[in-house]
Amino acid sequence: MTTEGQAPLAPPARKRLFIRTWGCQMNVYDSARMADVLAPLGYAPAEAPEGADMVILNTCHIREKASEKLFSELGRLRELKKEKASSGEKLVLAVAGCVAQAEGAEITARAPWVDIVLGPQTYHKLPEMVARASRAAGAVIETDFPVEDKFDHLPEVAAPQGVTAFLTVQEGCDKFCSFCVVPYTRGAEYSRPAAAVLAEARRLVAAGAREIALLGQNVNAYHGEGPDGRAWGLGRLLREMADIPGLLRLRYTTSHPRDMDDDLIAAHAELPMLMPFLHLPVQSGSDRVLQAMNRGHGVAEFRRVVEKLRAARPDLALSSDFIVGHPGETAADFAATMALVREVEFPLAYSFKYSPRPGTPAAGAPHQVPEAEKDARLQALQALLREQQAGFNRSRVGMTMQVLISGPGRHPGQAAGRSPWLQPVHLPGDAAALLGREVPVTILAAHPNSLSGLLAASEGGHNAQPREEPAPA
């Protein structure tokens, strides 16, 4: 609104932002919120760094060789920054996330062309950092753990995430596993107030989300303050979310066996919209290794949790994380891991060779396992896990299941979605007409990483023919 004689306020100059994200879904969520924070400054998404005025590398310290990947990418971006400068353009380069938090000083020393270094708890300050970077001669570094809650400073208006949306409810970790940097890069456990989570969930649904996945480093350690002033556990939060009109599905990740309490397990029995697929990292099947990892639970406790979950929800499928070659792991310890995998069965799992993380207790521990032995163990474990995944996918053939359609498939006339067990499902159909709907699909074929089928007869699919879907890369 303007008064006579006043010129209208000009909108921010159009700029382009490219964010490259490594790591977990929490980093994906963080990247989306960084884009939201910068949108009022005029930044719109860019398809590639070459078309951007600002590039953010949102890093993860969990994966192997995280720092090497970062500096390799920074080397390529240095040349792009030079090219833009030669034509009078400016490229603002930022490094965010856990590697930034852990290695901020090294980043600016090895890559002085970086303009901004920020940790996971400070991205709400990005507009201020961009302004400071435009004036500063050196890099702007923000890697403190601020007293204020970053979520209180994020804009309520956010770009739609699509049919499936991610919502961070808990951050940080108090567990201090011997191999993990998260307590040092994300800080102590913190849970968002339940009212703030529910408000954001309603906004996501209003923007088109039909499935929400709650995120946290230890999401089932959630203990946010409820509107009644008492701490709510994750089970209570899920029950409240289940009442949001328009929301069809709920998931949560990543869980810790120590925090899987009876109330949360009961929620799996009570809430049909809580999907029957749970990521529950165990890391090893050896009590000796679990103790060395400082996991705080043994194999028997993990088994009891699994038994309770499957009693509550008999169709529940589990995924997990495994680390092979943790310092001191023997052949017998690894055999115990293989035995646990055969016993529990995991239709999906993530498995890694142990690699030292600077500053963690395991990095300097004696009895490091030779690389060749770690390689051999990882190959054996992954072969077993692939066999279990293939068997689980085959067991779905002939089943009619509800599939949430999230978009088009790879081919014309094809729709794609997710099964209750998180498998990609491809089927003939009008993706635009089916988008955001849960539809019954009869599964006709299983592939290594996906399923394909037909709309059930009740949805008009009795005359359609399935297209053979190649296995995703």
What stretches of 7-47 show up as alpha helix (H) in DSSP? 25-38
Residue 261 contacts residue 235 (beta carbons within 8 Å) = yes
60 is in an annotated binding site: yes
Q: What is the helix (H) or strand (E) element at residue 132, kind and residue range? A: helix 126-135
CB 276 within 8 A of CB 421: yes
Position 322, amino acid? F
Taking the alpha carbons at both ends of the chain, their separation in whole angstroms is 53
> Is 167 annotated as contributing to ligand binding?
no
Q: Per 3-state DSSP, what percentage of the chain is helix, strand, and coil (rounded to 5)? A: 40, 20, 40
Contact 92, 56 (CB under 8 A): no
Contacts of 300 (CB under 8 A, 6+ apart): none
User: Which phi-psi region, left, alpha or beta, contains residue 208 (left: φ > 0; alpha: ψ -120 to 50)?
Assistant: left
CA–CA–CA angle 167, 173, 174 (5° rounding): 150
Of the candidates 164, 174, 165, 131, the one whose C-alpha atom is nearest the C-alpha of residue 41 is 131
> Is residue 177 part of an annotated ligand binding site?
yes
**Could you tell me the two tokens for 421?**
């067990």
Q: Does 357 appear as a known binding residue?
A: no
Q: Which residues contact 156 (CB under 8 A, 6 or more apart)?
A: 199, 200, 203
- DSSP secondary structure code for residue 458 in this structure: G
Residue 294 CB burial class (10 angstroms; 0-12, 13-18, ≥19): middle
Say if residues 122 and 143 touch (Cβ distance below 8 Å).
Answer: yes
Q: What is the C-alpha to C-alpha distance for residues 389 and 400, in angstroms, rounded to an integer?
A: 19
Tell me the two tokens of residue 152.
Answer: 């209180």
Cβ 279 vs Cβ 253: under 8 Å: yes
The residue among 178, 260, 165 whose CA lies nearest residue 218 is: 260
Closest by CA to 200, choosing from 154, 265, 239, 234, is 154
Contact 377, 415 (CB under 8 A): no
Determine if the peptide bond prior to 254 is cis (ω within 30°).
yes
Strand partners, 45: 17
How many Cβ atoms from other residues are within 10 Å of residue 292's Cβ? 21
The answer on whether 98 is annotated among ligand-binding residues is yes
Question: Is 117 labelled a binding residue?
Answer: no
From residue 28, give the alpha-carbon distance in Å to each of 20, 120, 161, 279, 448: 9, 12, 11, 17, 25
Binding positions = 24, 60, 98, 173, 177, 180
Binding positions for [4Fe-4S] cluster = 24, 60, 98, 173, 177, 180
